[in-house]
Amino acid sequence: MKVTIDDVVLPGDFCEDIIKAGEKSRVILGPGLRKELEKIFITKAGVLRKRAPNTYWVDSYQKRYVPARGENVIGVVIQKAGDSFRVDVGGSCSATLSYLSFEGATKKNRPEVQVGDVIYAKMLVASKDMEPELVCVDSNGKKGRLGVLNDGFVFKCSINLVRKILNPSCPLLNSLKNEWPFELAAGMNGRIWIKANSMRETIAVGNAILGCEYLTSEEIKSMCTNIASILAGHVS
Amino acid sequence: MGAEEKDLRDFKLQPMKCELNFLSKSDGSAILSQGDTVALVSVNGPLDIKSTSQSIEKSTLEILFCSKGGKPSVADRYKENVIRQTCEKAVLGCLYPRTGITITIQELEDFGGFLSCALNCACLALLNSGVSLRHVFACVTCGVDEKGEVVLGGRGCDTQISCVFDSIDKTLITCFSEGTYSEGTYLEAVARCRAASELVFAFYRDVVSKYSNAI
Amino acid sequence: MAEIYKLIHPVKYFNDYISRDIRPDGRKFHEQRNIKVNVNSLKTAEASAVVKCGNTTVVCGVQLELATPKAEEPELGFLVTNVELTPLCSSKYRPGPPSDNAQVQSYMLSDIFSNSKCIDLKDLCIVPDKLAWVVYCDIVCLDNDGSLVDACIIALMASLKTLSLPTVTYDPETEEIKVDPDVRTPLKVDGCPVATSFAVYKLTERNILLTDPSAYEEEMCGGLGAHFTVCLNKGLICGNHKFGGSHLLMENQEEVLKIAKERANLVVKVIDSCIKNEKSIDK
């Protein structure tokens, strides 16, 4: 079936608008789109989106992570193997993380990472034919926000929920950060790490995130004020 | 042609009801009822599987069919085979080499046409799981009544013809039948099923639009 | 050279043949392989047949046994079909319990057979609720070179057509059973279902139908069980099976039915003339 931007799409549908745009300039096909025999086919169920000038993708529901290059993910170290760590990121196979890919690490000066540690890292290599590889430094060798996450609490959620809360137009994090202080790392593999001053606050952040999955922006705002007032003890 | 086409479409399918994401822990799941027949399907994957069943070219589909009684039988293997071959055609397995996708089908209620319900339910569960698909597919069953007329749904008929169509060109992917029938009946049944598959695809779109507006 | 080419570019190799309207084994698209049938080849079985379709070879042996009918169907006898795919017939099969594929083939066979209604199970019953024949049809595949179901059905029908049941006398009072193997009545067989397989190959924008595909062609066209099988009994369709594989267009269907009909007539002739020959030798 022929579809246009912002339509609900099913796999097997095709979009002619993208082909037309492709004749004039280069287009970028995001997740859920695939070129086959001069036609652009949809491969996932969801809503076809466009961002000007030329990026197209399908907003879809997904729980299982498929590694993609350049994404920040949260993983758990499951094994130390020689000069690298094996990290479970929730994909079909575990990712490797070389001990040299930490800031300031040398052969002598190994980073202190134990089995069971939670790591916030960037996907350096993610191809369907190769094992994914993670790094904990950016291109300048700086650690930035990457590295071992200490304390805090990790929970899993669907991948589109992570995309939703990281979307700048989503009011959730903006509303929450004004209410009480907390740290948050969202992995694109559907794992979220949070750290707040007390357990009560940590649980509140977690519940707020999980609760916003099917809410609109307005509903999220009112939910946040609601949670904040409960936390402050105004309502029991 | 126009009038005939309309005539074909006038047939009603059994009422379908569906809930996606029915199970919280699997990657994708769907529960579908077609009339009184109910199937529950869960999809997990792409996952790591044992190296003997890995394929370097495409992802391996593992189908598990659980009948209501729980006892595995030869008929279950047959149903698994039908579902595996059909899903293999739809799933873009080449995007996930050396992995496995597990599809588990649980029979809940069988008042006829279970395999057809299970196939549609498997398609919905695959949509829910976010696995890349080439196309969606719809299974429609036709029955032949005592007078030799082809009826859609066809519950209680001795002769039943089921066809699975893809959503791109509406071509036949899978076909299986029960009983004996003439050539003309067969061709009519395939044409009817093909026209009715539109209704199933419209239903899929309806289900997807309901949840995709919320996310 | 050709062998290396086949290994390096398996799809292109196949395409080159198909686009020149010929199949790798030299056949035309709708040309079938030779069918050879031999009946009563096993002396230990009640009835038997060996069938060769090209390289595909299957042996069917029929054994008889007496049993009590099921309580819910006291007037019906039993006919049990089983297909064995041993490691002998292809490197794809491993020794051990029946593989999924063997179970699927067995099920398909018994499904086609029961749908065709060519044997009335009531004929197998001797005394309702007390005594009935169990006909075990064991089919062993010696060489699997594609279109297995076709060959299995021919073997099954050829052996059943030669099967005769010994006379049994049953004394209801003493429950004594007497079997007289010398006085036999042939089993009534109504029609003769014939299966014809077609592989569907997608050659850019064109769907090619290959009649009676070999194992290699089956593999190129989507693997195990992806081909389209039509079964005809006396002009009526008694089973259409197609699981996945390349898509089938509506235009193809009529073509398929026409070829299947021609082949059904041919196979029936082959079986009948084979049985006739066998009988004339016996005399």
Nearest one of C202, B26, C224, B120 to A36, comparing CA atoms: C202
Nearest chain C residue (CA) to B73: C103
Query: What's the pLDDT band for B65 if we cut at 50, 70, 90?
Result: very high
pLDDT given for residue A36 in this prediction: 82
Judged by a CB distance cut-off of 8 A, whether residue C242 touches chain B is yes
- Give CA–CA dist C191/C186, Å, rounded: 15
With cut-offs at 50, 70 and 90, classify the pLDDT of residue A235: low
For residues B56-73, give the mean pLDDT.
87
C228-245 burial: b if 16+ Cβ within 10 Å, else e: bbbbbbeebbbbbbbbbb
Nearest residue of C to residue B186 by CA position?
C237
Smallest CA–CA separation between A145 and chain B, in Å?
28
CA-to-CA distance for B66 and B75, rounded, in angstroms?
11
pLDDT single digits (tens) A68-98: 888 899 999 998 888 889 999 988 888 999 8
B123: Cβ contacts below 8 Å, ≥ 6 apart: B87, B90, B136, B137, B138, B204
Q: What is the pLDDT of residue B4?
A: 42
pLDDT of residue A191: 92
For chain B, list the domains and their CATH numbers. Answer: 3-212 (3.30.230.70)
Mean pLDDT score, A207-233: 86
Instruction: List, as ranges, residues 110-169 from B with C-beta within 8 Å of C.
Output: 161, 166, 169
B7 pLDDT above the threshold of 50: no
pLDDT band at C223 (very low <50, low <70, confident <90, very high): low
Least confident piece of the model among A132-141, A184-193, C83-92, C219-228 = C219-228
The string of pLDDT tens digits covering residues A136-146 is: 888 777 777 88
Q: Is B136 on the interface with A (CB under 8 A)?
A: yes
Closest alpha carbon within chain B to C106: B74
What mean pLDDT is reported for chain B?
Answer: 85
* Consecutive H or E run containing A75: strand A72-81
Q: What is the tens place of the pLDDT at every residue in C130-183? A: 888 999 999 999 998 888 888 999 999 999 988 888 888 888 788 788 888 888
> Nearest CA to CA, how far is B90 from chain C (Å)?
9
Mean pLDDT of C115-135: 86
**Token couple for C24:** 């790798």
- Which of B119, B137, B183 is the mutation pick for testing C, counting most C CBs within 10 A? B183
By the 8 A CB rule, do A94 and A78 touch? yes
Q: Which residues of B touch A164 (CB under 8 A)?
A: 215
- With contact defined as beta carbons under 8 Å apart, do A211 and A219 qualify? no
Summarised one tens digit per residue, pLDDT across range C95-104 is 888 888 888 8
Neighbours of chain A (3+ CB pairs under 8 A): B
Mean pLDDT, chain A, rounded, equals: 86
pLDDT given at position C283 = 63
The residue of chain B with its CA nearest to that of C114 is B179
Mean pLDDT value across chain C? 86
Nearest to A46 among B90, B129, B212 (CB): B212
Of the candidates C96, C65, C105, the one whose C-alpha atom is nearest the C-alpha of residue C243 is C105
pLDDT of residue C125: 86
| Mutation choice for A interface testing from B132, B135, B165 by most A CBs within 10 A | B132
Instruction: Report pLDDT digits (tens) over C27-80.
Output: 888 888 999 999 888 888 889 999 999 899 999 999 998 888 888 888 888 889
CATH of the domain at C37: 3.30.230.70
Number of CB pairs < 8 Å for B and C?
Answer: 100
Closest-CA residue of chain C to B90: C244
HEC readout, chain C: CHHHHHHHCHHHHHHHHHHCCCCCCCCCCCCCCCEEEEECCCCCCCEEEEEEECCEEEEEEEEEEEECCCCCCCCCCEEEEEEEECCCCCCCCCCCCCCHHHHHHHHHHHHHHHHHCCCCHHHHEEECCCEEEEEEEEEEEEECCCCHHHHHHHHHHHHHHHCEEEEEEEECCCCEEEEEEEEEEECCCCCCCEEEEEEEEEECCEEEEEECCCHHHHHHCCCCCCCEEEEEECCEEEEEEECCCCCECHHHHHHHHHHHHHHHHHHHHHHHHHHHHHHHHHC
- Predicted pLDDT at A192: 93
Q: What is the nearest CA distance from B73 to chain C, expressed in angstroms?
A: 9
Q: C115 to chain B, minimum CA–CA distance in Å? A: 5
Residue B5 is predicted with a pLDDT of: 43
ipTM: 0.86
| Range B194-215 average pLDDT | 84
- What's the confidence (pLDDT) of residue B62? 92
Q: How many domains is chain C built from?
A: 1
Residue B213 confidence (pLDDT): 67
Q: What is the pLDDT of residue C146?
A: 84
Select from B77, B134, B144, B193 the residue whose CB has the most chain C CBs within 10 Å, as the one to mutate to test that interface: B77
Average pLDDT rounded to a whole number, residues B27-44: 92
pLDDT mean over B110-117: 87
Angstrom distance (rounded) from CA C105 to CA C119: 20
Q: How sure is the predictor about B6, in pLDDT bands with cuts at 50, 70 and 90?
A: very low
Among A51-55, A99-103, B49-53, C31-35, the range with the most confident prediction by mean pLDDT is C31-35
Q: Which pLDDT score, from 0 to 100, does residue C224 have?
A: 65
- Say which of A10, A46, A164 has its CB closest to residue B167: A10
Q: What percent of chain C has pLDDT over 70?
A: 98
Contact B36, B25 (CB under 8 A): no
In order of start, what are the domains of chain A with their CATH numbers? 8-59 (2.40.50.100), 72-149 (2.40.50.140), 153-235 (3.30.1370.10)
Range of the domain at C75: 2-282
